[in-house]
Amino acid sequence: MGVRKREMAERIKAEKKNLAFAKLNNCPTSPRKMRLVADLVRGKKVEMALAILRFNQKEASRRLEKLLLSAIANWEAKNEDASIEDADLIVKEIRVDGGTMLKRLRPAPQGRAHRIRKRSNHVTLVLGSSSKVNTETTA
């Protein structure tokens, strides 16, 4: 392996150490409904995101709240010596992808049938620290 490639791999590995992932597969909610709730917490601090999800009335918010708590637990397991308050965690990325579809038939008038698609989704949540890099400009 070349020097540049090794340095790049080490840098990516160091960046991933500060991240924590949680994934929810085959959640029986349509991706469109889940994205409405996911957009509310994207980029927010973890404490604020938990408050938003706890007091939102949509069913998808309950599932995302549980997923966020799981991501926090994963971060704590990875960084045992650090505390959440000092880390200043944010919801760095939240992605809602379409999952498998259950296809059903519903009777329709005049002997016809309509297809009913029961959608599901996959949610990936990434937590990261919001460390702001101080860039000094030389004039």
CA distances 97 to 1, 22, 57, Å, are: 35, 14, 22
Q: Would residue 123 count as lying in a domain?
A: yes
Q: Would residue 12 count as lying in a domain?
A: no
User: Rounded to an integer, what distance in angstroms lies between the CA atom of residue 130 and that of residue 86?
Assistant: 11
Shortest CA distance to 40 belongs to which of 72, 65, 70, 20?
65
Is the whole-model pTM more than 0.85? no
Q: Would residue 110 count as lying in a domain?
A: yes
Sign of CA dihedral 20, 26, 29, 32: positive
Number of domains in the chain: 1
Q: Would residue 96 count as lying in a domain?
A: yes
Q: Would residue 137 count as lying in a domain?
A: no
Q: Would residue 20 count as lying in a domain?
A: no
We report the CATH number of the domain holding residue 51 as 3.90.470.10
Please name the amino acid found at residue 87: A
pLDDT by 10s per residue, the chain, length 139? 789 999 999 998 888 878 899 999 999 999 999 999 999 999 999 999 999 999 999 999 999 999 999 999 999 998 888 887 788 899 999 999 999 999 999 999 999 999 999 999 999 999 998 765 444 444 4
Range of the domain at 69: 29-129
